[in-house]
Copies of this chain bind each other. A is one copy, B any other.
Amino acid sequence: MSNEKKFVEAITPRDVDFAQWYTDIVKKADLVDYSSVRGCMIIRPYGYAIWELIQKHLDKRFKETGHENVYMPLFIPESLLQKEKEHVEGFAPEVAWVTHGGNEKLTERLCVRPTSETLFCEHYANIIHSYRDLPKLYNQWCSVVRWEKTTRPFLRTLEFLWQEGHTAHATAEEAMEETIRMLNIYAEFCENILAIPVIKGRKTEKEKFAGAEATFTIESLMHDGKALQTGTSHNFGDKFARVFNIRYTDKNNELKYVYQTSWGMTTRLIGAIIMVHGDDDGLVLPPEVAPVQVMVIPVQQHKEGVLEKAREITERISRVARVKIDDSDKMPGWKFSEYEMKGVPLRLELGPKDIENNRCVLVRRDTREKIFVSLDNLGDTIPEILNRIQKDMLVRATQERNKKTYTAKTMDEFDEIITKTPGFIKAMWCGDEACENAVKERTSATARCIPFEQEHISDTCVCCGRPAKHMVIWGKAY
């Protein structure tokens, strides 16, 4: 392999400068390009193909659970945004304002949607009348805008792509069930499709979504020990319904308010894939979201029969996997490096000797394991190996995450971990926001969530020493 390496321009090693390593991958794997619009990214074909696969997997899960897609306007009138007090306080400081249409000044400013709760509420007030109209299980795929000061591709951009689910229910119980159902779908998707283990839990009051009654989250850990909020699911109770007057007549002909939820996942998932699975040679993609799962590379392709055979094999594999052949005139070593950088899960090498022996060489991107396979069995072997890669990646990511999950009983222990070996820190909390603030000020770690799976680390709050209420997962976050 060392000989091949000369063909590729090296990226910054991951453990030397994690941020630069990330930026290098994002550019060199052709995921993103910058534009002249500050903080907005161009998602290039390879990056967008990953997003399309993420969409496909999520959309299937949404539809299987009865959700329907809709499309809401891009703009929200200022007065509509301001209807729910906490919500507007959370979002107004970071929205983009449209003040002119054509050559005219608008009588009311419009904001470019940062999220669409207010639009969905207005619509629901129009279309929900009777218990027969419930539940409403809507989702929207779109882009939203939040005026961030500092940005990084996929992780924090002025504009990003996402899906936002917005549902309305007859009872508080149903809304709660939906909130948790979608959190579970997110968690299952992250683990089975992205091979990223997550911790499910509730956000503290301080960290919850602007206007929500409760926010639930899945938190994952990146290779550098920082946490990433990977998806959130909010329960609004009847709070927005009261503000927007969304009511229905129940079976007894009584007027009742609906109960609502919202939940979202974004293109930042692509950032998570990079930071959980990537290595010093570039991206490593889980097969489920790899635009190309197998890259066929003919070796000594000028020799008689090699290209023909390679193309025939590619055609055969295309029935069981997303496959491409690179029969360009670049050197094989250069091709190896390029598809390593792009994180293609399996490389298939085929040269004259292989053909003689009716076999080929498969090389796993994740482990670099070389596997010799008979050409007769490719239709069975390749899906099996892709499946194994998918599972192994989750196992390794889980081990890695567990290795970087610590417990702290005192703030001294907490301090030491966060400075020396950053990761998730499990520590008890009294439930007082003052302690949450104190921990943040001292360590810059925040309460990532109060996990559903509680453990008893100690009896007292890590910060103030008073009796503990919850175990909290703390960490520095993206």
Contacts and interface: CB of A to CB of B under 8 A. Distances in A.
Contacts of A361: none
Interface string A38-56: 0011111100110110000
Given A49-B68, A101-B96, A110-B37, A73 B42 contact: yes
A100 B95 CA distance: 8
Contacts of A76: 37
Interface in A94-121: 94-103, 110, 112, 119
Contact of A71 (B75, B94, B161): B161
Nearest to A136: B45
B147 A101 contact: yes
A186 to B, nearest CB: 22
A73 B160 CA distance: 9
B74 A48 contact: no
Nearest to A120: B42
Interface in A54-74: 68-74
Given A96-B98, A96-B101, A97-B98, A159 B73 contact: yes
Contact of A70 (B37, B40, B42): B42
A315 interface: no
A43 B68 contact: no
A209 interface: no
A227 B285 CA distance: 49
Nearest to A75: B37
A95 B102 contact: yes
B36 A74 contact: no
A42 B68 contact: no
20 contacts: A33-B123, A33-B126, A36-B122, A37-B73, A37-B75, A37-B76, A40-B74, A40-B75, A42-B71, A42-B72, A43-B70, A45-B68, A73-B159, A75-B96, A96-B101, A96-B110, A97-B98, A98-B98, A99-B100, A101-B147
Interface of A: 33, 35-37, 40-45, 48-49, 51-52, 68-77, 80, 93-103, 110, 112, 119, 122-123, 126-127, 138, 142-143, 145, 147, 158-159, 161
What 9 A-B pairs have minimum CB-CB distances, sorted nearest first? Answer: A40-B73, A45-B68, A101-B147, A43-B71, A97-B100, A102-B147, A37-B73, A99-B99, A96-B98
